[in-house]
Amino acid sequence: MIAFDSVSKTYADGTPAVRDLSLNIEKGETIVLLGSSGCGKTTTLKMINRLIDLSKGTIEVDGKNIMDQEITALRRSIGYVFQGIGLFPHLSVAANVSVVPRLLGWDKARCRKRAAELLELVDLPPGEYADQYPDQLSGGQQQRVGVVRALAADPDYLLMDEPFGALDALTRGALQQELVKLQSEIGKTIIFVTHDIFEALTLADRIAVMHEGRLHQVGSKEEILKRPATDFVRELFGKPARQLKLLGEN
Amino acid sequence: MSYIRTGFSLLLCALVFASGCGRGPGAGSETVTVGSKNFTEQLVIAEIMAQAIEAGTNLKVARKLNLGGTMICHNALVQGDIDLYAEYTGTALTAILKKSVVSDPNKVLAIVSKEYAEQFQCGWQKPFGFNNTYAITVRGAFADEKGLEKVSDLAGIAGETTAGFTAEFMEREDGYPGLKKAYGISFKDTRDMEPSLMYRAMEQESVDVICAFATDGRIAAYKLRMLEDDKGFFPPYYAAPVVRQAALDKHPGIAEALAPLAGALDDETMQKLNFEVDDKKREPAEVAREFLVGKGIVKESP
Amino acid sequence: MDFLQLVADRQGELVGKTGEHLVLTGVSAAAAVLIGVPLGIVVTRWAATRGPVLGFAGVVQTIPSIAMLALLMVPLGLGVKPAIGALVLYALLPIVRNTHAGLTGVDRDILEAADGVGFTPGQRLRMVELPLAAPVIIAGIRTATVITVGIATLSAYIGAGGLGDFIVRGLSTGNSNLIILGVVAASVMALLLDFGIGLVEKWLRRRLHQDRKE
């Protein structure tokens, strides 16, 4: 479980990015942080693996305060996928996937086996793709590699910051489906950031709606659609709710 | 009315008078250019010649000093960029006229005078008196240690010795190429360097042998020893002013002004003057002036 | 035609002086890399150092090479030491500047991924930043090497040898063929080194899969 307790982030110039956020993320769930740009969702995500350090409050991962852990050890135990993908261009696909295991000292054979397994999982047959280089892959393929890179050392948690945002709508749709399928097979805890309501609805077990640095509501799709806690949430889901109702009536 | 006229005439006179005065000693005079090579002795001699001409004629003297090597000076003279400089008889014979070495100083002078007059329309004046021959030189302690007195003595140890020579010496027939043949000496390593730097290199012991100039005061000062040219390889190098005939014809005063310098500088004196500049760091012009005043060629200014 | 005769006559010397020149160039370039690349890293990490370091290296470039040699002879004496000292100083600017450019040119996303997967700053530098910056750094080394070949011709004046000896001797004795020999040999050396290091640069780009045109 990841526990946020009254967490705030204020930048040096005084900008408050996240205000007094308290949230518990349960093991095994897929929780989507949803909101428009600037609402603080990405900041919240990045505070978990300390790519951004919080200003106030505490975050605990499995009961341990993240500030008490060695920063690189923390990051190696949490998977991170983001919009820019960031595959290492000078390493093969297999080498990219094996990056964290190698850092953890796994031997080459074990790394290669793990990479092959994971590539199979996302439909990139290792025989064909393991020795290719990122510049030979399409955007969608690259991000799939990005996802399995994050999973290589078998972390419990997976952070995903608008990972499909740079891809075309068709590829995005396909990858969302793959993620759902993957999730059913591997059962990780996924914290997913997006501004796309439909993406949220497709992927989430729970949705945490954020606006201007505050958490407005966290709950299942039904709760949020049927019992919006604030005006903002109600407005946000107004249209999709009406559409769903219409679909339901037909 | 008469005041104005008087005043006017006075003014006119004053103007005429002033214009006459304004010209001064440079009136109608022209400039003669003295050149020099790029080492101390040449700078001092050039100043001596320049100041002698300034004292003995109305001419203005420009200096183009530190021109580089022998050929640069020679070409400048022939092309008229300079009117005179001091050349050494042996250098003129072997490096410029490319003739083989002759040992009799008078003969050498005669040859170069004739050839220069015919080929280059330049006139050799009477030599100053000193013979600034190349001298194969080693540190005093090194000479004692290896028992070196003559250049031939180097034959045995040349293979383990490093020499520092000027770029010019490396190319001239009366330099290293000729020396090698005459003495059968081939050094382990030779380094090209600026003339002045050879002494520092000796001091630092980065080289053991140099081609010093015999009248360099630093030889004594740095406790260096010149090895005897036992095979008589080097020609005599008596320095003398070499002047363009055109300049001599136009300004007869030049030859006259330079005449007192003939035979006025022996090896020892030249060495001392060089030392004043190299070691005591005095200005060549100042050292030259002091010398000329001492000889009565230049008057001590009031 | 008598130029060719000259070259034939002086083959031995030519080879010897080419060797000396290569050593001067090689040693100086190597030293400049050992000093310049770390400096480039420092300058990239600590923005405050950028002004002073690049400023210093820039000022050095403006000092005429002969003056620099003369200055360095005061503490270092004659010969190879001041020559290498001067050559290293002149080679610094292109290397430091290119190291900085190469490092700052690495895609931000790649750096974010490196941090995210848990590289320490040292590992990130060694395994991601430097390899990806390498082609640009090599380009800086290429520039520095070519500059060095040229300036090394001046070491002829101070007993450090090299192809400049031909030039200075030619100047002292009015032998223009000798001057041309020195100049041509040095130019050919510079061109070959430029080409050779350029090949290394290209190979690296291919190896790092950075040779795709955007």
Per-residue pLDDT of C136-152, as tens digits, reads 999 999 999 999 999 99
Q: Do chains A and B touch (3 or more CB pairs under 8 A)?
A: no
Residue among A73, A80, A88 whose CB faces C128 most closely: A88
Catalogue all structural domains in chain C, each as residue range(s) with its CATH number.
Answer: 2-207 (1.10.3720.10)
Model confidence at B15: pLDDT above 70: no
Q: What is the pLDDT of residue B292?
A: 94
Judged by a CB distance cut-off of 8 A, whether residue A17 touches chain C is: no
Q: What is the pLDDT of residue B4?
A: 64
Across residues B272-279, what is the average pLDDT? 91
Chain B residues close to C173, C-beta within 8 Å: 69-71, 95, 167-168, 171-172
CA distances from B67 to B70, B75, B167 (A): 9, 11, 15
Cβ-defined contact of C169 to B164 (cutoff 8 Å): no
Judged by a CB distance cut-off of 8 A, whether residue B193 touches chain C is: yes
Distance separating alpha carbons of residues C126 and C124, to the nearest angstrom: 6
Judged by a CB distance cut-off of 8 A, whether residue C78 touches chain B is: yes
Find the residue in A nearest to C132 (Cα).
A90
Q: What is the pLDDT of residue A248?
A: 75
Q: Which residues of chain A have pLDDT under 70?
A: 240-241, 250
Judged by a CB distance cut-off of 8 A, whether residue B71 touches chain C is: yes
Model confidence at C60: pLDDT above 80: yes
Model confidence at B20: pLDDT above 70: no
Beta partners for C5?
none
Residue of C108, C111, C115, C117 for testing the chain A interface, max A β-carbons within 10 Å: C117
For chain A, positions 143-172, list CB contacts with chain C under 8 A: 146, 149-150
The token duo for A41 is 């969702």
Residue among A86, A133, A149 whose CB faces C109 most closely: A86
Q: What is the pLDDT of residue C85?
A: 95
Q: What is the pLDDT of residue B300?
A: 77
Least Cα separation, residue A91 to chain C (angstroms) = 8
The residue that leads in pLDDT, C24 or B220, is C24
Residue written as token pair 């050929």: B71
Chain A residues close to C126, C-beta within 8 Å: none
Model confidence at C127: pLDDT above 90: yes
Residue of C13, C80, C167, C168 for testing the chain B interface, max B β-carbons within 10 Å: C168
Q: What percent of chain B has pLDDT over 70?
A: 90
Q: What is the pLDDT of residue C212?
A: 58
Cβ-defined contact of C172 to B200 (cutoff 8 Å): no
Helix (H, G, I), strand (E, B) or coil at C129: helix
- Choice among B15-24, B192-201, C21-30, C179-188 with the minimum mean pLDDT: B15-24
CA distances from C198 to A234, B16, C204, C205, C210 (A): 62, 76, 10, 11, 15
Model confidence at B18: pLDDT above 50: no
Q: Where are the alpha helices (DSSP H) in chain A?
A: 41-48, 71-76, 93-97, 99-103, 108-121, 126-129, 139-151, 169-186, 197-203, 221-226, 231-249
Chain B residues close to C157, C-beta within 8 Å: 192-194, 197
Across residues B73-99, what is the average pLDDT? 94
The residue that leads in pLDDT, A44 or B13, is A44
Model confidence at C42: pLDDT above 80: yes
Cβ-defined contact of C117 to A73 (cutoff 8 Å): no
Q: What is the pLDDT of residue B217?
A: 85
> Angle at the Cα of B211 (from B157 to C69), degrees rounded to 5?
105
Classify residue C79 as left (phi > 0), alpha (psi -120 to 50) or beta.
left
Q: What is the pLDDT of residue B27?
A: 39
Model confidence at C99: pLDDT above 90: yes
Domain covering B134-226: architecture: 3-Layer(aba) Sandwich (3.40)
Neighbours of chain B (3+ CB pairs under 8 A): C
The token duo for A196 is 């796309």
Find the residue in C nearest to B199 (Cα).
C78
Chain C residues close to B70, C-beta within 8 Å: 172-173
Model confidence at B115: pLDDT above 70: yes
Judged by a CB distance cut-off of 8 A, whether residue B66 touches chain C is: no
Q: What is the pLDDT of residue C21?
A: 96
ipTM, 2 decimals? 0.90
- Choice among B20-34, B100-114, C8-22 with the minimum mean pLDDT: B20-34
Question: What is the sign, positive or negative, of the torsion defined by CA atoms of C21, C24, C30, C33?
Answer: negative
* Strand ranges for A26-90 from DSSP E: 30-34, 56-61, 64-65, 78-82
Distance separating alpha carbons of residues C158 and B195, to the nearest angstrom: 10
Q: What is the pLDDT of residue C175?
A: 87
Q: What percent of chain C has pLDDT over 90?
A: 80
Query: pLDDT class for B5, splitting at 50, 70, 90?
Result: low
Q: Chains A and C: how many Cβ contacts under 8 Å?
A: 68
Residue among C128, C132, C212 whose CB faces A135 most closely: C212
Cβ-defined contact of C159 to B74 (cutoff 8 Å): no
For chain C, positions 89-108, list CB contacts with chain A under 8 A: 107-108
Q: What is the pLDDT of residue B204?
A: 86
Across residues C151-177, what is the average pLDDT? 91
Domain residue extents for chain B: 31-131+238-294, 134-226
Cβ-defined contact of A82 to C112 (cutoff 8 Å): yes
Across residues B262-283, what is the average pLDDT? 92
The residue that leads in pLDDT, B102 or C88, is C88
Q: What is the pLDDT of residue A226?
A: 84
Average model confidence (pLDDT) for chain B? 88
Residue among B72, B171, B201 whose CB faces C159 most closely: B201
DSSP classification of residue A134: G
Judged by a CB distance cut-off of 8 A, whether residue A84 touches chain C is: yes
> Which residue in A65, A35, A30 sits closest to A50, CA to CA?
A65
Cβ-defined contact of C116 to A75 (cutoff 8 Å): yes
Q: Which residues contact B234 (CB under 8 A, 6 or more apart)?
A: B90, B101, B133, B134, B174
Least Cα separation, residue A239 to chain C (angstroms) = 35
Q: What is the pLDDT of residue B23?
A: 40
Q: What is the pLDDT of residue C164?
A: 95
Query: pLDDT class for B26, splitting at 50, 70, 90?
Result: very low
Q: What is the pLDDT of residue C214?
A: 43
The token duo for C66 is 């002969």
- Whole-structure pTM value: 0.81
DSSP classification of residue A152: T
Whether the CB-CB separation of B140 and B232 falls below 8 Å is answered with no
Cβ-defined contact of B200 to C168 (cutoff 8 Å): no
B31-131+238-294 and B134-226: identical CATH topology: yes
Distance separating alpha carbons of residues C182 and A218, to the nearest angstrom: 80
CATH ID of B31-131+238-294, from 3.40.190.10, 3.40.630.10, 3.40.50.620, 3.40.50.10210: 3.40.190.10
Per-residue pLDDT of B116-126, as tens digits, reads 999 999 999 99
Chain A residues close to C116, C-beta within 8 Å: 49, 51, 75, 80, 82, 86
Query: pLDDT class for C55, splitting at 50, 70, 90?
Result: very high
Model confidence at B231: pLDDT above 50: yes
Cβ-defined contact of A89 to C132 (cutoff 8 Å): yes
> Which residue in B148, B209, B134, B215 sits closest to B178, CA to CA?
B134
Least Cα separation, residue A229 to chain C (angstroms) = 34
